[in-house]
Structure 1
Amino acid sequence: EKVPLDRSGRPIKVIDDDAEDLDCEFLNNRQAFLNLCRGNHYQFDELRRAKHTSMMVLWHLHNRDAPKFVQQCVSCSREILSGKRYHCNVCPDYDLCAQCYKDPKTNRGSCTHKLQAIDVESEGGQDGGSSSSGLTEAQRKHRQRNLELHIQLIEHASKCNSKECPSKNCAKMKSYLAHARKCPNGVQGGCRICKRIWTLLRIHAQKCKDSVCPIPQCMAIREKMRQLQKQQQAMDDRRRLEMNRHYRKGGISVA
């Protein structure tokens, strides 16, 4: 097989996109993709913006652990890119940067709740590590295999009723599932355990075909996905009707 070369005659590494199933939540439906574009001001109305948006979408696709949105300080309106952000679990979309949080003169508005400190650098990676941007092919395969094993473990732990299960990780996964049910912070509050568990549950729910599934929240996640699909279909129908109405009016005026 002929190896493609660049202008300098060096071989070009060809990436096989089919070698790994890339699960990316913002590509599951149009509404999720629209939310990503709105939250990050991605646009396709001009060529330069379309190029930038396409590049960023590909970056998110291959850096799935990285934060999808950059939080903004409600006081100084600056983006919080490093250090810590101080998040309110009660008020919606309320974050302060470290500088405004430490300043006693900062106007916090109507928020009087206790703020939770969250490390911005470690939000993207598991266990506070870096994202998957620098992984080799072998590491990516190992990561994918690891994910599959975790999903199998969560399926086993959800069905296992034995107090003396031979699986060493069964009890640990059961404790994680119990934590996800009772955690006061949850995913929105930045709990890493909840993020991992809900990611595994969502991946399982996307592939699950059982009419009655014992996995926690599987039926609820699938129902939410169905509702999103219905909403998306309704939006598509309204958009299609509006376009047809516009074209019919244009045809009449031209005639």
Structure 2
Amino acid sequence: MPKSDKLRSWYQNLIKKALKEGVVVERNTLYDFFLQPANECKANMSAACLPYCENDFWPGEAEKLLEKKDDNTSQKKETQVGRLLRVAKRDDRKGNLEDMLLVHKLGERMRTMKEDFIMLCLQQFCKHCHQPIVSGKCWVCTSCKNFHLCDKCHAEEQNTAPKDRHPATTKQKHAFQRREVEPLPETDDGDPTMESKYFDSRIDFLKHCQDNQYQFDTLRRAKHSTMMILYLLHDSACSACHHAMDQCLAWRCLVCLGCNFCDPCYKRSGQSLHIHELRQTGNNKTVHKDTLQDYFEALVHASRCFDPRNCSSQICITLKKLFFHGVRCEIRARNWGGCKKCVFMWKLLLGHSRDCIHAECLVPRCRDIKAYITEKNKLAGPVL
């Protein structure tokens, strides 16, 4: 995986091009925009204002900070909040005290690595209320770069004392120029929405890239990995309803590459779905290559399936045959250099046992492997 400096340099090159073409209007960081805004910001920043993405860094850190919350008295909290407000040069105490402390602690955690949390503004934001200026009037400072005010904040600015106007740090005040902001056009994506379990979260996508050895450290590898990911996305979705489908029950065209239909659509329309003949994956020898995660999920299913003849999962039947082979094989794994089927079987069992949290797991040898790993960790001792 590329290091942080390498990734940041890639992003910087893309951002420079986006700024030049006008796709992005301003580059900032999550820390500077939300956690430590400018002195002239009059908005009450809270943790609810931060953009939330599943499995992102700051939601996990916020949960850890909330779990470690000490039993301070309310007076001590007010003292801490008062100190924070004085540092930020704000004298109002609107909002929840615990929320203010949480934002401050998040800022302390992210301050040393704030350059890694790049934030791009596709629209201009008001520097006072931190709201996007979508349409209407916009007031631009003639001296400062990227200093915009909405119509409401500009009216409040004119009613304040001259010493408190922009900029607050100098005696000479700047003038504002009025501009009309054109509303953004409606974007209607003509392409249908496609679903895939590999794109539900960032962790799932990274795990999928690691399992299939997709790399992005060079332009050549990035192009290849991108094409393979797009192929997987289109190949794992139904060509009729564009929803994710079970690969074991998929109906595929033998002529057209990437033309796949889910089982419900085929039962509803039959062969009229496509001009060519459709065959189900289970009846075709060219079975789609399943990922390691699919095998882990099928391993749990196969351990609970007691009627393999009537089971519709092709991987379940494959795993049943694999374990039947493992019982009768005379070559065995032999330190990963023996029978390939046995080696694959033991790799599946080891991979499942490392992540399994069920004490009464029905997967063969799962409890034995977990006991062996626990005993091995005890003998190794704590890591200093």
Structure of higher RCO (CA pairs closer than 8 Å, 6+ residues apart)? 1
Larger Rg: 2
TM-score (norm 1): 0.38
TM-score (norm 2): 0.27
